[in-house]
Amino acid sequence: MAISVILGSFTAALGQLGDPRFRRVLVRGIGLTLALLIASYVAFLMFLNWIGAAQWVQELLGNISWVGDLVTWTSFFLMVLLSVFLMVPVASAITSMFLDEVAEAVEDRHYPNVPKALPVPFGEALKDTVNFLGVLIFANIVALVIYAFFAPFALFIFWGLNGFLLGREYFTLAAMRHLGRDGAKKLRKKHGGTIWIAGTLMAMPLSIPLINLVIPILGAATFTHLFHRLESQSSTSG
């Protein structure tokens, strides 16, 4: 049942790619995702330089000029490789920026009779985003230790951990627009397993370079559908 709801939500999100309004948000989202990914990559190189790892990286990859090599093929492939890990916090940031626009486009087409969303104060939304991003980064740093002990299962642990965190964030933001914070938490707890599976299915393609550029916006649309379907089920059963 959970899988059918998730796949139905994802299929509905894909079906709206032809909508000009949705497509504009998708193109902007891809552009900003790429920009954030490049910025994260540059910050990562600067961090390596700051901790004195630059010489080791140069020996591994060749002589790197910290500006010039940003546009070389070597640097490009390194960025693509790192995108497997960097795309998780990038996806989180993209969600907070575009979810309202994506959700409005989805709801106008698929749920026209649903009452208009409740406005979330900017300060509150920013606080939630920063707090969640901190949790996301801290959890993935701690997970590095776990990966070392369970190396054969590292990828599955990565998907499961980030699926749980991303699913929690995406669903909460989608649900808060209509139910408020307390209502979103209540619905999220009721359907925690489904949300975790949906988040994991989102985290998996985030690990695929280039394809992962479209996942944050498609994920926002998918979780908007998922919220409405789960909320409808809860209203019917409750």
Mean pLDDT by 10 residues, the chain (238 residues): 88 90 87 81 71 58 50 59 75 81 92 84 75 84 87 92 93 92 93 96 87 88 96 73
What phi and psi, each to the nearest 5 degrees, are found at residue 143?
-65, -25
- Give the DSSP H or E segment for 182: helix 154-190
What would the two tokens of residue 210 be? 């280039």
- Residue 117 region by backbone torsions, left for phi larger than 0, else alpha for psi between -120 and 50, else beta: beta
Count how many residues are written for the chain: 238
Cβ neighbours, 10 Å, residue 57: 14
Question: Quick one: CA torsion of 94, 89, 10, 234, rounded to 10 degrees?
Answer: -90
Predicted confidence at residue 134, as pLDDT, reads: 84
pLDDT number for residue 92: 80
d(CA 238, CA 6): 21
Neighbours of 51 (CB within 10 A): 8
pLDDT for position 98: 84
pLDDT of residue 71: 43
Is the pTM here over 0.85, yes or no?
no
